Amino acid sequence: MSSLPFAVGTYSPRNLSKPHSKLLAKNVDKAVTSIKWSSNKQNISPIEQLNENRRVFQRREAVGFGLCFGLLEAGQLQLPQPSAVAEEAPCELTLSPSGLGFCDKVVGKGPEAVKGQLIKAHYVGRLENGKVFDSSYNRRKPLTFRVGVGEVIKGWDQGILGGDGVPPMLAGGKRTLRLPPELGYGTRGAGCKGGSCIIPPDSVLLFDVEFIGKA
């Protein structure tokens, strides 16, 4: 134990006064416990060990985030999709007199929507070049709206309610819609800012719609 004062650096028994002896003795006991503990951890003190654990955790976090972003950039990480509507095989569109094209991928078995009814629908919206501009699946939340009263674009109301040669959708059904500009966002486009638009003016739009049912 003669080397203990040199290891701790705070204890010298020849210079102790009684008021401080108990306090320093407690500090020495703590130091001895610390030294015994560190001898079993390759001479690393508890504080150093804690800092090392933090550094290891931070390295693991950095590696994890780096791997995630690397896979995203490489296209190897597939984000979960609640439905495969956008990936289903395309079907042949039927053209209605209004110019709306439609094709049922899945015919629903539930009731059809009623004008003014609050309904829920999932969708993926694409430009004619295939670029996706919006998807409720990515938000993991369907769109809720009153159908047939102008809360959505005309092509949606007609494509779900039916009419003018288009049969109504049934709950549980999945339908592809092709909207000419006059049934979509027309000459104004949508999402325009600083001279560029998410949906350019006079765009033909394609929607994969899943009619979930009444909200």
Please state, in angstroms and rounded to a whole number, the distance separating the CA atoms of residues 95 and 7.
89
Q: How far apart are CA 44 and CA 22, in angstroms?
A: 27
Write the single-letter amino acid at 17: S
* First CA to last CA distance, the chain: 78
- Which residues are tagged catalytic? 123, 133-134, 153, 185, 207
DSSP assignment, residue 166?
B
DSSP category for residue 151: S
Beta bridge partners of 146: 118
CA count, 13 A, side-chain hemisphere, 176: 19
In contact, 128 and 207? CB cutoff 8 Å:
no
Distance CA 175, CA 112 (A): 13
